Chain A
Amino acid sequence: MARAVVTVPPRARRGEIVEIKTLAQHPMETGFRRTQTGELIPRDIIRTFRCSYNGTEVFRAELHPAIAANPLIAFTTVATESGTLSFEWAGDNGYTVTEIAAIKVE
């Protein structure tokens, strides 16, 4: 099942700033909602998001319950060299998702 979708331009010029858009499928349960009978629904959210470029971390985010369900995280990075962008989401209840995207830099 689609856990996350990343959109990265497949190619870029060296030094160009590229836009990256990521979408993760996750309810981001806040821990503040209650069931019909009044019980608190426990918190279940993505806690961290990390983007690494050929192994070097270039962007990191700490998420809190105020981030909407199915989180969108969009940011930029400099196209320094060809290689792999890897994206990692980690959260409550052992949630962990990794996606990779190749980028060709000329």
Chain B
Amino acid sequence: MSLRLLLLAACFAGASARAGEIPPDQRRSGYETMSRETRAIQDDDATNPGMLSVLDGEALWKRKAGAADRACADCHKSMKGVAARYPAFDPARGRPVTLEQRINGCIVERQKAPALAYESKELLALTAYVALQSRGLPIAPRIDAKTRPFLEAGREAFHRRQGQLNLSCALCHDDNWGRHLAGSPIPQGHPTGYPIYRLEWQSLGSLERRLRNCLFGIRAQVPGFGSDELVDLELYLMWRARGMKLEAPAVRP
């Protein structure tokens, strides 16, 4: 596989057919790249494996936990619209945080319980339950004076060539979406469905897991879960997908 990627990287070394940001009206969700059958799995709550996690999340949401003996449901009613605007600025940290980090923040500060591990079944379940409540809503992270510097850092990371293969996210996902890489179609890479049930993982996973997966694939340094670099990149990706509908929990190959 690495030989194929090397050859591919060599092709990208020169000028590409299509360069620059994707025009807003040409943006497509990864949903459209999937086969009809896989789309059908996502469309039906009765067959979407992500819904199992949503149900787990609903149970956790209602369960009292921690030294404070509080359930999420005790304070929060509807979470409609919440997932669509994350990563969001957290004044306490002075920087944007992901939905996962926000949930953990609440667990630690309000429930007085230990934080859930990244990619743990429980954290994914809670994230899926919250994200489902924004299904169908347009992605809308808030960009203002406070968040702009982080957006720019994310934009820079998206366009930066990195790793042993010297590839940038933009090279595949802005310039060569629709073409194939080793038999798989290259999507535009919009985070429209997270957390997703990825068929390759055979389980639910976060956007950070997918990004780390990709960075590992291009033989770059993989930032840790919850690192500033990853969160900035997520902010950029959500901004890049602004206006597109959230599909969580999506199914992806």
Contact = CB atoms under 8 A, between A and B. Distances in A.
Interface in A56-103: 68-70, 72, 74
B202 interface: yes
Interface stretch (A10-18, A19-27, A40-48): A19-27
Given A69-B202, A70-B52, A1 B46 contact: no
Given A21-B47, A23-B47, A70-B49, A5 B202 contact: no
A2 B202 contact: no
A74 B56 contact: no
30 contacts: A1-B59, A2-B52, A2-B55, A2-B59, A5-B46, A5-B52, A5-B55, A7-B46, A21-B44, A21-B46, A21-B47, A23-B46, A23-B47, A23-B48, A23-B49, A23-B51, A25-B49, A25-B52, A27-B202, A27-B203, A68-B202, A69-B49, A69-B203, A70-B49, A70-B52, A70-B202, A70-B203, A72-B41, A72-B47, A72-B49
Interface string B115-146: 00000000000000000000000000000000
B56 A1 contact: yes
Nearest to B125: A1
- Binding site of A, secondary structure by majority: helix, strand, loop or mixed? loop
A85 to B, nearest CB: 14
Contacts of A72: 41, 47, 49
Contacts, number: 39
A1 B59 CA distance: 7
Nearest to A24: B52
B197 to A, nearest CB: 8
Q: Which 3 A-B pairs have the closest CB atoms?
A: A2-B55, A7-B46, A69-B202
Contacts of A23: 46-49, 51-52
